[in-house]
Chains A and B, each alone.
Chain A
């Protein structure tokens, strides 16, 4: 298949572009030598195709940005902007056995070139960035879909489906200065969904080398952080010995007593951002089931995300403004009570994520339950609907997002996209109930 696309979003010389797609399938089960007779269908397929990504409306124009007081430049448009170009190679197999079990397996590999990105410009041009085609992102996705008719009677049918998928993406070519944007870092070799942020030391092995001989002056507290306590003290002594708010000098380094210590790397002296983990789930599953009994159809869908992290920015922000539940010390024993400086240390980092607020984002959700009842014809006639011309009448009740099971402490771990889960005072996904009456004339 060949396609020629025109778009006014590109530069004048690049408005028309060609794309193609070629697909190949081989139905092995149709061959006379095919030995596995219980397969009604066994098909191998492969395809290769290309597609183009489009820039934003304004990206090709070399304009000023006129605001209230002046005309400024910020980003230079590019009259030579081309589409970003993605080539996907997909291989897969489709199987149907015993007339009732279907399995589809797919592996797809994508390479996206000429990403439409802002490239830094020499400042003397007056522009900070210019829209250019640059960078390569490579990725893959695997997907398996299993569908089975578990029971097929005259009045009762029951079928189930399970869909599982996993994808990963990595920047393999960048060609420009790396930068941090929100939780993620844009740089060659970095994967989509990786989180970078601050981490507090949890183990003596993470202490600066200078403290190699004085590890006993640090202790892991009840929150799991390694804190400076000094000679002869324990993390429990803050209130009893009046140590909160004091400083303790260990190997010439002055620490605030009892407060967690930021992990520092080699990058100069500022607090360092470290890799914390990935927001991308290990695998996502969707498990659906349909039961039909005469005119009644019941459907249920469970979504299951395994792995993946969420930044609970809401909780971090509440630490910063001292409104988080953790800050409330009532009901705690004296040895576990902590001053507000402790919570500020953990949460007060502006928009930068802190490992303390990165939480497991796996969940199981009862995504949908629905019941649909189609009125039998005699009932239609009895209600006089047939006379009005109604051929079929169905009544349905649908509930969505009914239950969530998760270790996440916020409202809903399912925020943003699978590669960027930052819960910053987001509304959770709404639970909805819908009812409908369908009349077909």
Chain B
């Protein structure tokens, strides 16, 4: 018996010793740990470059807000419940349901969380460079660190600016924010959108300064487009500054109060050729995809809203449609001399930017007032899949029309008319406007809701919407500043309810005629 107990003790001791010494630390080889990414200069650069994807996705990629915002801006229209597009664009306009359980909570959540994801990457990359002294060099030892910093400040500004455009308040996260400390993050206060936009512009200005000092050129692979020379990169940054100066305005009053002198300066230093990404590089535009999608029975398809192209109609059909009660509205053909909307062969021929669709895959029970006979087709269905195609993000036309608006507001109506006419005449094949507006004629374009020939402002709004439609998601930001959102449309999104829960803030929302609704 004595031997038995002794033997048992030895076996137990061996067992415990073997098990106890088991090495239970297992490295994760599937994905890199944070510290490891931030040690290698190449990885730090790759981390910063990757944030461009997020900038693209916010404006027109797969973040689920671009099409809903387009629909509530009456740019493109649908009855498909494509991330809330139908619900939010139906009339009368409703308040955004800011509960985390809302079926389309992604409209507010995705742009929000994806932006902070990218801002945190900018933070980590810049912190590694600025505070831990990581230096990025090429194979010959040339210092490429300023290029990475300038690009990081550019995407940081672009990301923060988008938050300022979309949300009423937001947290400003830069390389100086202690994001790794959850308690400090919890103690942060969200800032009103104007301050968020100010910090965005400050980041873009910082990017400009470094870019100018070091003559930073950006490889095309970084932005999935053509190489950006030092000059082109700085011009692109100026154009983003111009956007954030103007598009942050929530109401016509705020839009009128924009620093238009500065807008002119930024546009003058801005892009001189369209900034586009190249197809086949992995970036897609959901915005361009669904706006131009086939109308097969099972397809999700958007059409051109009559509030976008209707002002081009000279037959009176648009005015009749507007005068019809909402549920009784039916789609109609547009008679117009604007060759962007239709061809010269009549209302059912394709224009250069829009095409005619005789059938629809929309649902009548969801309101035929959403229907349209026309669809945006400027890029012939391209949205990023195919190599050899270019998908514009920021266009010269957009910048030119921003300047036209600035000149109009600064009192230079002739100057504004001249800028409007550049696309109006060349692309629309329409007679030029003058300082006093659209020359009176039986086939004048655009026409107002009561059928009159539009004034210079009407011509500017029409031109801006037609020329920028489908290029980037700016219709909503313009529409709220122009004061043409349908009454009750939300002016901006609230901080997502899911985030409010984390901070213990009460839920709030906008739209539906309450606070933050268009009049």
Contact surface of A with B, Cβ cutoff 8 Å: 6-8, 12, 15, 57-58, 61-66, 68-74, 120-128, 176-180, 185, 245, 247, 254, 256, 259, 267-271, 273, 321-322, 341, 344-345, 348-350, 352
CA distance A122 to B49 in the complex (A): 24
Could you tell me which residues of chain B, from 57 to 104, have a CB within 8 Å of some CB in chain A? 81, 87, 94-95, 97, 99-103
B103 touches A125 (CB 8 A): no
Q: Does B214 contact A (CB under 8 A)?
A: no
Residues 1-33 (chain B) with a chain A CB within 8 angstroms: 19, 22, 24-26, 28, 30-33
Whether B19 contacts A6 by the Cβ 8 Å rule is yes
Q: Which of B109-117, B396-404, B430-438, B448-456 is the contact stretch? A: B109-117
- Which of B245-253, B348-356, B411-419, B498-506 lies at the interface? B498-506
Whether the pair B103, A350 counts as a contact (CB closer than 8 A) is: yes
Q: Flag if A68 contacts B282 (CB, 8 Å).
A: yes
Contact of B171 among A61, A123, A267 (CB under 8 A): A123
CB-CB nearest in chain B for A350: B81
The answer, among B50, B101, B297, B509, for a CB contact under 8 Å with A70, is B50
> Chain A residues near B100 (CB, 8 Å)?
177-179
Q: CA A305 – CA B51 in complex, angstroms?
A: 53
Q: Is B144 an interface residue (CB 8 A)?
A: no
Tell me if B364 and A124 are in contact (CB < 8 A). no
Task: Tell whether A270 pairs with B102 under 8 Å between CB atoms, given A61-B33, A63-B34.
Answer: yes
A126 & B116 in contact (Cβ 8 Å cutoff): yes
**A6-B24, A120-B499 known; A63 and B50 CB under 8 Å?**
no
The answer to whether B207 has its CB under 8 Å from any CB of chain A is no
Contact A70 B53 (CB under 8 A): yes
Which chain A residue lies CB-closest to B94?
A: A269
Task: List the B residue with the shortest CB-CB distance to A7.
Answer: B24
Annotate B106-149 by CB proximity to A: 1 below 8 A, 0 otherwise.
00000011001111110110000000000000000000000000
Q: Say yes or no: is B327 at the interface (Cβ < 8 Å to chain A).
A: yes
Q: Is the CB of B512 within 8 A of A269?
A: yes
Closest to A12 in B: B25
Residue pair A58, B31 in contact (C-beta under 8 Å): yes
Distance between Cα atoms of A12 and B26 in the complex (Å):
10
Selected from A66, A69, A348, the residue in CB contact (under 8 A) with B363 is A348
A122–B499 contact, CB under 8 A? yes
Of B175-183, B385-393, B468-476, the one touching chain A: B175-183
* B residues less than 8 Å from A58 (CB atoms): 28, 30-31
- By a CB distance below 8 angstroms, the chain A residues around B49 are 70
Chain B residues 334-376 with CB under 8 Å of chain A are 363-365
8 extra interchain contacts, Cβ-Cβ under 8 A, other than A7-B24, A125-B182, A268-B94?
A58-B31, A61-B33, A69-B53, A70-B50, A120-B498, A124-B173, A180-B103, A268-B99
Check if B188 is an interface residue, CB within 8 A of chain A. yes
Residues of chain A within 8 A of B47, CB atoms compared: 64, 70-71
The winner among A64, A177, A350 for most chain B CB atoms within 10 A is A64
Task: Identify which of A120, A273, A322 gathers the most chain B CB atoms within 10 Å of its CB.
Answer: A120
Contact B327 A247 (CB under 8 A): yes
Give the shortest distance, in Å, between A149 (CB) and chain B (any CB): 42
Contacts of B292 in A (CB 8 A): none
Does the CB pair A64–B31 fall under 8 Å? yes
Give the residue among A61, A124, A127 with the most B Cβ atoms within 10 A.
A124
| Residue contact B185 to A122, C-beta cutoff 8 Å | yes
Which residues does chain B contribute within 8 Å of A180, judged by CB atoms?
101, 103
Q: A8-B25, A247-B327 are in contact. Are A126 and B121 (CB under 8 A)?
A: yes
Interface contacts (Cβ under 8 Å), in number, total: 160
A247 to B26, CA, bound (A): 65
Would A123 and B112 count as touching, CB distance under 8 A? Answer: yes
A66, A122, A126, A344: the one within 8 Å of B117 (CB) = A126
Indicate if B293 sits at the interface (CB-CB under 8 A). Answer: no
Minimum Cβ distance to chain A for residue B518 (Å): 17
Given contacts A176-B501, A254-B327, A269-B512, contact A126 B33 (CB under 8 A): no
Known: A73-B120, A124-B171. A269 touches B363 (CB 8 A): no
Quick check: A123 and B24 within 8 Å, CB to CB?
Answer: no
A285 to B59, CA, bound (A): 56
Say whether A126 contacts B501, CB under 8 Å. no
Which of A58, A70, A120, A245 lies at the interface centre, i.e. has the most chain B CB atoms within 10 A of its CB? A70
- Report A-chain residues with C-beta under 8 Å of the C-beta of B81: 348-350
The yes or no answer to B440 lying at the interface (CB within 8 A) is no
Chain A residue numbers with a CB within 8 Å of B213 are none
Interfacial chain B residues near A125, Cβ < 8 Å: 116, 120, 179-180, 182, 185
| Residues of chain A contacted by B173 (CB below 8 angstroms) | 124, 126
Inter-chain contact A128/B117, CB cutoff 8 Å: yes
Contact call B501/A267, Cβ cutoff below 8 A: no
Chain B hits for A322, CB < 8 A: 297
CA distance A125 to B103 in the complex (A): 25
- The answer to whether B87 and A66 touch across the interface, beta carbons within 8 angstroms, is no
A211 to B173, CA, bound (A): 51
Contact between B365 and A64 (Cβ–Cβ < 8 Å)? Answer: no
In the complex, the answer to whether A120 meets B502 with C-beta atoms within 8 Å is: yes
Q: Which B residues lie within 8 Å of A127 (CB)? A: 117, 120
Chain A residues near B112 (CB-CB < 8 A): 123
What residues on B are CB-neighbors of A259 within 8 Å?
Answer: 365
Interface: B37 (CB within 8 A): yes
Chain B nearest CB: distance from A422 CB in Å? 17
CB of A124 within 8 A of CB of B185, answer yes
Which residues does chain A contribute within 8 Å of B31, judged by CB atoms? 58, 61, 63-66
A71 touches B101 (CB 8 A): no
Q: Which residue of A lies closest to B82 (CB)?
A: A350
Given contacts A8-B25, A256-B365, A268-B94, contact A126 B119 (CB under 8 A): yes
Is there an interface contact between B28 and A63, defined as CB atoms closer than 8 Å? yes
**A-B CB proximity, top 7 nearest:** A126-B120, A70-B50, A63-B31, A123-B116, A8-B24, A177-B501, A61-B28
CA distance A268 to B510 in the complex (A): 12
Q: Whole-angstrom distance from the CB of A145 to the nearest CB of chain B? A: 36
With both beta carbons as reference points, the residue of chain A lying nearest to B98 in the complex is identified as A268
Chain B, Cβ-Cβ closest to A119? B502
B:482-514 near A, CB below 8 Å: 497-499, 501-503, 509, 512
Please, which residues of chain B bring their CB within 8 A of the CB of A178? 100-101
Measured between alpha carbons, how far is A284 from B170 in the docked complex, in Å?
A: 52
A124 and B327 within 8 A (CB): no
Cα A178 to Cα B103 in complex, Å, equals 13
Give bound CA distance, A268 to B497, whole Å: 14
B33 contacts across to A, CB distance below 8 A: 61-63
9 residue pairs A–B, Cβ–Cβ below 8 Å: A6-B22, A63-B34, A72-B118, A123-B171, A124-B119, A124-B188, A259-B365, A268-B95, A270-B103
A130 and B87 CA atoms in complex are apart in Å by 32
**Residue on B nearest A321 in the bound complex, by CB:** B298
Give bound CA distance, A66 to B33, whole Å: 11
* A57 to B173 Cα, complex, angstroms: 31
Query: Which one, A71, A74, A126, A269, contacts B179 given CB within 8 A?
Result: A126
A171 to B293, CA, bound (A): 44
Q: Which of B123, B186, B365, B497 has the most CB of A within 10 A?
A: B365
Contact (A128, B113) CB under 8 Å given A121-B182, A259-B365: yes
The reply to whether A269 and B95 form a contact with Cβ atoms under 8 Å apart is yes
Contact at B117–A73, with CB atoms within 8 Å?
A: yes
Q: A66-B31, A71-B47 are in contact. Are A122 and B182 (CB under 8 A)?
A: yes
Q: Beyond A63-B31, A269-B95, is A123–B365 a contact (Cβ under 8 Å)?
A: no
Q: B365: which of A126, A179, A269, A345 is its contact (CB, 8 Å)? A: A345
A178 to B179, CA, bound (A): 25
User: Does B54 make an interface contact (CB < 8 A)?
Assistant: yes
**Residues of chain B with a CB closer than 8 A to A73's CB:** 117, 120-121
Q: How far is the CA of A124 from the CA of B365 in the complex (A)?
A: 42
B46 CB-CB contact with A under 8 Å: yes
Q: Does B283 contact A (CB under 8 A)?
A: yes
- The interface bits of chain B over 216-249 (1 if a CB of A lies within 8 angstroms of the residue's CB, else 0) are 0000000000000000000000000000000000
